[in-house]
Structure 1
Amino acid sequence: MTRRSVRGAIWGIVLVIAIVGAAGVVVGEVQNTSVTVSGTDLASGDTVRVDQHPTVDVSIEADTAIELVDVRVNGDSRQTFEPGSQSFSESMNLEMDDGENTLRIVVNAGGTSTYEATVHKDSTSPYLEYTSPFATPDLSSPPESTTVSNARTTLSADIVDEFGVETIEIERRYDYTFAGQGETSRESYQITNPDGSFSQEVFLGDGENQIEATYTDEAGNKRVHEFVLYVDDTQQPTMDLTVPERTGTDEVRVQGTVSDNVKLDRVELEGPTGSTTQVLQSTHAEPNRDRLSAEINQVVSLNEGENDITITATDTAGNTVEREYTIVYDRAIDPRVTIDSERTTVENGTVSVVGRIDRGEIGSVTMESVDPETEEIIDITRVYGGDETTSRVDIDHQLSAADGETQVRVIVTDSQGDQHTETFSVGSGGGSASTDGGASTQSTPDDSAAPTEDVSDASDGGSDAGASSTTEDGSGAADGSSDDGESDSGANDDAGTSDGSGSNGGDGANETSGSIPGFTVVTALLAFVLIGARLRRTE
């Protein structure tokens, strides 16, 4: 055999292999598998959630006859079909356990393909382990009625569910009577994607409150709890008031806060003359957050001598608290001088004086600076003077200073014409003021102080406060392969074996090219025939 003959034989073999390979691509069978689970298209490798046993619709198209379709759930064969045609369509109900289930469909049509997806089944409604205002450690339903003592009551619970609760809806309904007519107050609360537990403040009215709580999980299962929260209010309202004991003016301002744990109905102030002021008017029983407290800011007119006032607060349950105060109006009360020692200084020959004068009836105020060695008056200024008396004068004035230490005199004349003098010293180095007379000094004057001697009546009230993320379930990912070591029924050795893979289109179909039986043997025989013919031709 010549070199040319050998080369020709080799080219012949290559040509045969190419032709046969091309023929294999053309004749390979293609399988398209489409699956719908409970009405939802489900591509291979995807996940779907259902709340009951699903209905599975399977459609398969192939280029050759479909020999076998095997439908499996969690590895167990549930349905087997032998269509014998190029198309297959079947609807079936498959029983599945709650939780994650693997749906696998094995198809043999000249070649084997496997479809695999995950079905999460959750047919159980959520369970609640309540922790407030009652407890259900055994996951039982709430008690029919629970008694609480505050309008602000917290409803909280831990959630038990396969895939998590998606929404919580709570509605409070309160029935009451107003002007002889029945009325209903409703308030709703919604929590989205709680993370295994929730805590929600519910605002209640005095007496019976109907509660309906609806819990919906991600599969659409609902659990509804209906129960009563009964508010039994036995607590009196509380008061935190500032009322002066003594004053030098004919009017005082009474300030403070009245609070209640459920709802204030009315607040009244009875003055020295017997007249009553309605600080807060009576109203109906409808729950109202604004009625948990009321601010008092009332001016009360006084007579000379002792004045009795009474403040009364009543809540919607009828609980009442009453406070009595006596205020002494004394026109002869001495004015009080208070100097801010930190802000009163000497600088560049000038004394800056900061402070206040309060109490009594102040007719005029004069301030002067004095040299303590010579007692010479260096400077003088009128701080206040007018036709009417006042109960307070603020000081923020400048005077010329002496060389070295400077004395400052504050001369106050009251409504009776009596003078009250207070003297204090300020050093040349800008040091703090020190008193020589009866004046008091403080680091920071209380700008809001009333011109009176005050007494505070403080009692603390309390109220409950309540408080509420996303639960995401992981989904199983199928690689499209059959179980290791698992023999697909209906497949035979002559038809070849499946490698368990297929090309998945966007619609979730599986496509598998079948192998050609005896490919290697045919190729070898054709090659030998061509070589023999070539050799005979060259002999």
Structure 2
Amino acid sequence: MIASSINPVKGPTYRRWASVLCGMCILGLLMYTGVGAVAAQETTTNITIDGEQLKSEDNVVVLNDPNANITVTADAPVELIELRVNGDVYRSYRPNSTTFDRSVTLDLDPNENTVEVITKSDTVTTFKSSITKHTAAPRVEYTSPFSTTVKGGPNNTVNVTSGQVTLAGNLHTVVDVKSIRIERTSNYGPDESSSDVDRKIHRISNPGESFSQELLLVDGTNNLTAEYTDTLGRTNTDRFVIDVDDESDPTINITVADESYTDTASIGGTVQDETKLKRVEINRTSNNGSQVLMLSANAKPNPDKLKYSFDTTVELYDDNDDNEFKITAEDAAGNIRNQTFVIKYEPEPEVNITNATINLEGKTVHLAGTVSQAEISRVTIETFNTSTGERLDLDRVYDTETFTNAVSFDKEFRASAKGTIVTILVSYRSGQYSTSITPEIPDSQKETNTNNGTETTDNTTSVQSETTNRTVQNTTETKPDNQTSVETNSSSGNESQPDTTPNSPTLLPVRTRDAFGGIVVVGGAYILGHWV
């Protein structure tokens, strides 16, 4: 009895397990074949802004209220569509269809706007993005003659120290700037109540991302109005004052020779100023005689008065103390600069001998050189025997009706084996000039000359000279006791007479003396109408 009571009942248990297993197989088969499954419904929302695709969570920029085109497609009929702008319901629709297409103009606020499209079919979907509406005109970040930020405009008054400034800056705008208009109004009268006003307008087209405009201002108050207009016609206007306080003197640059051999000199140069030149003049400091080169009547801005070039001529006096000059430049603000200089008047010619060599065998002297640094009308070269005073040779190497500033010569003249003096006489505008030289004897001829019985001392081996200078005037030459005192009255008329004229004084013997290691002519020889 006990054993039979503990044995399980097998029949019903097997049937229950079989039923469970069979149900699980059927369920798995149904799931595998899709029988009885519910498909998920899909909703698609598309929005274009002014024809351009707007993506979810995107941010686009517009300049005006845009046109939005909304399309919705769904697998199940759409019950409700809401268009919201910045959280407010802007439009709502009940299409009761699986498709929806509608265009609408969005009335947006300036700056950033949040746009949402909420669709309900069997599920709810949300399309969200942002649209920024720019309505501001172009902004300017100034870089010259002052600096600003994009948001901060210029100060009411800007101070500068020069009348020449550059207004420049970087443009910040959504669309291109089409034009810039800058108007400058300046009062250049003697006081603030004066009606003397100058106005200048500058225009710049299509400047790009930056601009730069040169401005010419007066010393004092200058009112500026700058207008920046974009391609949509929106304009930003800045108004400010530029106050010029010019304390800089004008600059002077001159070109002038330190000395002149004529009685006039040329002076050229340029004078510049940062605002405007008022006066430029040249003065002789000894008598304050002035020559006004440039004079402006008022302070009105004028680009032609920023720089002045001049080329003038001044007379020179015999006394170099009277040949000091001063250039004075004054600008419209009253700043003055002076520059003083001296022109030395040196009318005497310069004689430069490049070769003076005696050929004792041929009894000639080779003479080469130049006469310059004067207004020369005649050059005469003579040779004399130092022992007897006899004139050996004479040649006029230059003689014309017009003046020249340089004469070159390269010739041979007769010479004496016993000693030769060469005299060069120069007639120039202010008078006459003469110089005498002793030619050089080459070393190869010195020994030959000694063997022939002619003694040559060391003082004839180098070129030595003595110079005299005479102006055309009455002169009296007083000789030592053993010489002759002669009075002459030289004039330009007598100077042009030939040496053979009956009125010419009697030729006196030519004397010589040692000078500077050589032998020079002294005393009373009358040569070409002048005593030497």
Please, what TM-score do these two structures have when normalized by structure 2? 0.50
Higher relative contact order (CA 8 A, sep 6+): 1
Q: Max radius of gyration: which structure? A: 2
Please, what TM-score do these two structures have when normalized by structure 1? 0.49
